Amino acid sequence: MRKYLTVFLFVITINIYAENGLSLGVLGVGYSATNETDDGYYFGRVFSLYYQMDTGFGIDLSPLMFSIRMNDTINSSLTFVNFSLYYDILRKQEELVFAPFVSIHAINHDKLDFFEARCGLEFTLRLPMESFVFRELLTLELGYKYNRQQQGVYIHVGINLAAFLVYLGYGLGGNYILSSP
Q: Where are the chain's structural domains?
A: 2-171
State the pLDDT confidence band at 132, using cuts at 50, 70 and 90. low
Residue 118 per-residue DSSP state: E
Q: Count CA atoms within 13 Å of residue 163 on its CB side.
A: 27
The Cα–Cα gap between 128 and 135 comes to: 8
Q: How far apart are CA 72 and CA 40, in angstroms?
A: 11
What type of residue is 77? S
pLDDT surpasses 50 at 173: no
Q: What is the per-residue pLDDT across 52-109, written as a single tens digit (0 to 9) for each?
A: 888 889 898 888 888 887 765 666 778 888 899 999 998 777 788 899 999 988 887 7
The pTM (predicted TM-score) of the whole model is: 0.75
Considering only the top CATH level, what class is 2-171? Answer: mainly beta
CA 31 to CA 167: how far, in whole Å?
Answer: 27
Q: What is the pLDDT of residues 31-56, one digit of tens each?
A: 887 766 677 888 888 878 888 888 88
Q: What are phi and psi of 97, to 5 degrees?
A: -125, 125
